[in-house]
Amino acid sequence: MDMLYKAPSGVEEIKGAAPAAATVVLDGFPLYPPGDSRWEAFAAFGPLAVYERTLSPEETVERCREARVVFTNKVELSAATLRRLPNVKYIGILATGTNIVDLKAAAAQGITATNIPSYSTASVAQTAISLLLAITNRVEYYSEAVREGRWTTCRDFTFRDFPLTELAGRNFAVVGFGHTGQATARIAAAFGMKVKVFTSKPQESLPEGYEKLPLDELFRRADVLSFHCPLTDSTRGMLDARRLGMMKPTAIVLNTSRGPVVDEQALADALNDERIAAAGLDVLSSEPPLPDNPLLKARNCIITPHIAWASEEARERLMEIALANLRAWEAGRPQNVVG
């Protein structure tokens, strides 16, 4: 079922054509499917429609024409779309990134927009380090080899056919030193890695032992390069062929921020030509990726399907903050406002 409607009591369920709803969730499925009880609290603010997915601007307009409140995760709300939605007064972005909403157009129409900051910090940091360990320790690879009988038939007490790498003493370079960058750096430091940072923060504000570096110097010295920055004009394509050419051939690239931060063809070429050692990515420039994305077949490239944010705990926090944001706006005290 694509859509669930609940009356303000949160009890009645109507299947079929979309009703006029005061609150519309355009793409609830990545969080929880329509019908999940976690959405019921949002029905306290009026008739609620929760859709699994909304696939076109026309569908967005049709579903939100009467809406006062709209929630979106990845459905774009452009200036052209917003002009066709004069009743909308509040947009709740169900994520930290805000690039899917034209915030200037929203403000011009008197629409308050909010986001969900810092809900997935621990989960994203954990995933970044998981990608790193998948590259350096190859646990899944060796576990499958054991299941295939390769240890059983081995003449020695051990076997290894893929290099293992110790992280202690190596440079962990962080691009973007907000909540997630800091959390990931703390884990790296616990492994004994030397944390290097590109940030606008002054050196004296960084934790003891962390070193602030200019961007190009950071790339040159990185043994592990981990991206934790938002997507802006200055970060788009930040990891390009020129900077890849600065890096050590033993370097590892991690990206759990935004796919377009990386020039994907340049990274694939560097991996395939063995000019860098490996990459661990949770994000790509187009999601889901196009079949011809060069990184899908690149050498030593581990890719997960944008799941770093999606632990049960992080999704619960996201829902709690989204509801708190709506309550605060309804009370005339909006919080987490963006734009």
- Looking only at the bridges linking them, the beta strands covering 90-93 and 23-25 are unpaired
Length of the chain in residues, anyone?
Answer: 339
* Cβ pair 47, 20 in contact under 8 A: yes
Q: Which residues of 76-113 are buried (b: 16+ CB within 10 A; e: fewer)?
A: ebeeebbeebeebebbbbbbbbbebbbbebbeeeebbb
Task: List the catalytic residue out of 170, 243, 306, 317.
Answer: 306
* Nearest-10 Cα torsion for 319, 320, 326, 328: -160
C-alpha 266/C-alpha 289 separation (Å) is 16
- Whether 306 sits among the annotated catalytic residues: the reply is yes
The enclosing H or E element of 302 equals strand 301-303
Beta bridge partners of 49: 5, 24
Task: Let me know: does 77 contact 40? Beta carbons within 8 Å.
Answer: no
Query: How many angstroms separate the CA atoms of 266 and 297, rounded?
Result: 13
The question of whether 140 is a catalytic residue gets the answer: no
The active-site residue out of 258, 264, 315, 317 is 258
d(CA 257, CA 255): 6
Give residue 183's Cα distance to chain centre: 15
Residues with Cβ within 8 Å of 86's Cβ and at least 6 positions away in sequence, in order, are 109
Element (H, E) at 271: helix 264-272
Residue 283: which of 211, 339, 242, 227 has the closest Cα? 227
Q: What are the distances in angstroms from CA 225 to CA 45, 175, 216, 288, 309?
A: 45, 8, 12, 24, 20
Strand 211-212 to 194-198 pairing: parallel
* Catalytic residue (choose from 144, 287, 313, 330): 287
| Known active-site residue 53 | no
Active site residues: 258, 287, 306
